[in-house]
Structure 1
C-alpha cells in the first residue's frame, strides 16, 4: 500500500527536535538524577502527554489557528518562560541552601507528571513545530487513517526518546555523582533553565 505521507521525513525531523537538549530533556535529566528512575519516567510521561496533545491539535488544524493568533502565542510564551524561570530559581535555591539533615522529599508521582505536562503545554514552539511538521510531511490526499498513523508513530518515538533519557540519567553512577556534586549540578541546571526561559521570552515566534 502506497502512502500519501512522507513518514521517514516526519520521523527524522521529529527525532532531531525531540532528542535535542531542551527544557523537557533538562527537566527529565534533573529529576531522574535527583529523585530516581520512577520520578524521571513519570515526568517523561507527562512530557509525552503534552507532546501528544499538541500533535493531535496540529493534526486537527488547531495549530494553524494558534499560529495565526498572536495573543495566544504570547500567553504561551510568557507562561512557559515564567515556568522555566521558576524551575531555575528552585535549582538555584537548592544549589545555595545546604540541607540540614535529611535530603529534600521527593515530589509525588502526580506532581512529577503534572510538571512534565505543564512543561510541554506551556512551550509555544511545540505547537508551531507540530504544525510545520505535518505541513512538511503530509499532502492533501492524506487520509484520516494515515493521519492517525503519523500521530501514533511520532508519539511512540517521543515516548521512547523521553523515557530513554529518564533511564539514562537515573543510572546508579550518575545518581551517585549527583549526590556528591549536588550543588554543582543544581547550579548548572539553574543556569540552563534560566537560559531556556530567556530564549523563549526573547524569541521571535514566526508562524
Structure 2
C-alpha cells in the first residue's frame, strides 16, 4: 500500500507550488515561523474534506455534477482574487511579531483552510490519485484509503512547514529592505491572482 511509487508521487505533488505554498511562504515571511505553523495546519486541514469526499465516494458525484463543481470553483476563484487585492493594497511594513495571539492563530488557520477547501480540483485529483494505490482484491479498501490519506496529509504538513521555516530564515533581509517588501507583496498578489485565473479557466 505505502509503496515507494506512492511516497515519491505524493512528495512531488505536495512540493509543487500552489495556493497553499504561496500562502504559507508569505505568512512565514511576514509573521514568522510560528505563524507559518498555523498556515501549514490550516492548509492541511483544508485537504480533509476533499479526502473524505474521495473516501466516501462523494467525489464521483461532484465529478458528474457540473453545477456542484462550478459553484465550488468560482467560490475559490473569488477568494483567491480577494487575497490578491488585499495583499496588493496592504502597505503595512513587514515587522517582527513575537506574540501571535489566539485570534491571529485562528484567523490564519481559517484563511489557509478556506484556500484548500474551495479548490474543487483537489477532490477530482484525489478521486483519480488515491484509488491507484489500493491493493487489488483487498477486503477493506476503506481502511487502505484512510491510511493513504493520513500519509498524504502528514507529508503535506511537513513540506509546508519546511516552506514556511525557509521563508522565515530569509525574513531578516526582507524586513530590512522596504523595496524587497514591495516586490514580494506584488509577487504574492500576482501569484494569488494568477492561481485564481488558472482555477477559473480550469475545466472538469
Taking structure 2 as the reference length, the TM-score comes to 0.87
Specify the SS of the correspondent of 1:108. Answer: helix
- Mapped contact 1:10–1:133 kept (Cα < 8 A): no
Alignment partner, residue 156 of structure 1: 154
Contiguous gaps of at least 5 residues in structure 1:
none
Distance 1:168 1:103, change over 3 A: closer
Alignment partner, residue 198 of structure 1: 197
Alignment partner, residue 32 of structure 1: 28
Cα distance per residue 1:6-50 (max 9 Å; x no partner): 633333222222110111100000011001111111011011011
Alignment partner, residue 186 of structure 2: 187
- Mapped contact 2:35–2:108 kept (Cα < 8 A): yes
Distance 1:104 1:69, change over 3 A: farther
Moved more, 155-164 or 196-205: 155-164
Specify the SS of the correspondent of 2:203. Answer: coil
Taking structure 1 as the reference length, the TM-score comes to 0.86
- Mapped contact 1:6–1:138 kept (Cα < 8 A): no
- How far apart are residue 135 of structure 1 and its match? 2.8
Alignment partner, residue 44 of structure 1: 40
What is the 5 A alignment of 1:155-174?
A: 155-171=153-169, 174=170
Cα distance per residue 1:85-105 (max 9 Å; x no partner): 1111112112xx466xx9598
Contiguous gaps of at least 5 residues in structure 2:
none
Aligned length: 195
- Structure 1 residue aligned with 2:85, among 89, 92, 100? 89
Q: CA RMSD in A?
A: 2.1
Alpha-carbon separation, structure 2, partners of 1:158 and 1:45: 9
